[in-house]
Structure 1
């Protein structure tokens, strides 16, 4: 006859199950609670200074009420677009090489090691490097230098994410394409990359969200500007930089604008990441309908 567990054993198992369920729920609450508290506090502090002028006007001089961060919002968009254009293709290309062509080669191992090291390098070091390599030779700050600094920060995350996502593609899929006589490079581009695209895009957005709020690299590269951006070869305003300047100032009006800017920055990052997740979940980025 099959062994039947006693009531005591069943009771212990149910108690253990309930205990671990409660611990899991508490862990989730502990993770979400700080984020929720920050968002609520940002809403409370930032909404009061949000108005049409904040999104359409330039910063006002000290002592004049009003003004906004329109140039900083545009500047952040320019810098992040430039960083994405420079960093994402390089990261995806490096990830493709590591997974599809590198294997255990010395060069591939060196790239992996470098990417892992760069992931742990403080952002201020990236800013100093960009300052030494770009700003000093050019003898002026620029949006281009800021974009390069943030692009360098994006590359390691995109590289490792691309490699890991391509590793999840079944070898049978690659072998089927190669068996049809499709060249390996085309198999990678049309089969492997397409199959792994949702995960790769998510990794790109994580890298984007990471650099979107960085301030230290911009202090050494973008420097800031009180006017509308007109060129990539001149100092440029950015939301994180403007928030920092306003937050450390002794003026209450600037403090209110700093809270509003922080709220806008968080919302922009959350909206961009959410949109990509929604689109990826529907399969639109993977050839779905």
Structure 2
């Protein structure tokens, strides 16, 4: 009887702890979003969205952050595409072509786990050294290379975990019907297609929100880059520079920039959920 009471007491404590954790996380989210809305919305204007910085923008004069918005989209979309182009085949190879539990499979996944946790400033420093060696100056290309290296582990490990959720019987049955490994891979990828959208979303969110990695490699410019060898502004850097100003109006614009970045992520999340739900209906 005492044992049952102890188990019930532990379950109650665990339930309370989970509820408190949920409240804390949800409350933190609402606090962050609420702070951005409260401090940034009054400074959010069409001029700020549709114009590039004019002379003295970062000391409170006219202009906007269109250059940073376009630069962030360029960098985020290009690096996510390249990360998917490289990471997806790597994940397929490790799960389909490499024997499960082999030294290569275990060491490769351990390596990507380590790369997943490496701070972005380390990627920036390494990419900056490579750029100096190759004679590439700080530019949109340098930022794309850096953020691609940063997001490849995210794509590989996320897809790897998705492939683990597929029943082993599906793979065995497909192979027993005489399918090649590439045909098996296509069937498994079709099965986790909604999850792949989530993996790309995670990569894009990391790419568009990174500041340490692109600080050394992408540079900063008040103009919209037309070529890959031109420096590019990003929203995180624009936020950082504006928050560093002692002028209250410029700090308010920083929160407005953060609000724009949040809205971009929100739009991507909604689109991803829509595509995922459409795919699930199609499978049903």
**TM-score when normalising by structure 2:** 0.89
| Counterpart for residue 257 of structure 1 | 253
Deviates more, 1:59-68 or 1:123-132: 59-68
CA distance in 2, matches of 1:180, 1:145: 47
CA distance in 2, matches of 1:74, 1:17: 51
| Counterpart for residue 194 of structure 2 | 198
Q: Is the 8 A contact 1:142 1:232 kept in 2?
A: yes
| Counterpart for residue 217 of structure 2 | 221
Uncovered stretches (5+) of structure 1, i.e. residues with no partner: none
| Counterpart for residue 55 of structure 2 | 61
CA distance in 2, matches of 1:237, 1:188: 39
Offset of residue 85 of structure 1: 1.6
Q: Are residue 157 (structure 1) and residue 157 (structure 2) matched?
A: no
Moved over 4 A (4+): 8-20
Alignment RMSD (CA, Å): 2.4
CA distance in 1, matches of 2:123, 2:153: 13
CA distance in 2, matches of 1:135, 1:226: 23
Offset of residue 60 of structure 1: 2.3
Question: Number of aligned pairs?
Answer: 281
| Counterpart for residue 87 of structure 1 | 83
User: How far does the alpha carbon of each residue in 1:93-149 deviate from its partner, in whole angstroms, 9 at most, with x for none?
Assistant: 111111111223433333212211111211101111111112552241111110111
User: How far does the alpha carbon of each residue in 1:171-230 deviate from its partner, in whole angstroms, 9 at most, with x for none?
Assistant: 3222332333322211211x1111122223212212221232110111111111001211
Q: Are residue 276 (structure 1) and residue 269 (structure 2) matched?
A: no
CA distance in 1, matches of 2:197, 2:163: 12
Highest relative contact order (Cα 8 Å, sep 6+), 1 or 2? 2
CA distance in 2, matches of 1:224, 1:258: 16
CA distance in 2, matches of 1:106, 1:28: 39
CA distance in 1, matches of 2:83, 2:218: 17
- Matches of residues 168-187 of structure 1 in structure 2 within 5 Å? 168-187=165-184
Offset of residue 244 of structure 1: 1.1
Match of 2:106 among 90, 106, 109: 109
User: How far does the alpha carbon of each residue in 1:56-91 deviate from its partner, in whole angstroms, 9 at most, with x for none?
Assistant: 011122256331101110110000111012112211
Offset of residue 285 of structure 1: 6.6
Deviates more, 1:78-87 or 1:130-139: 130-139
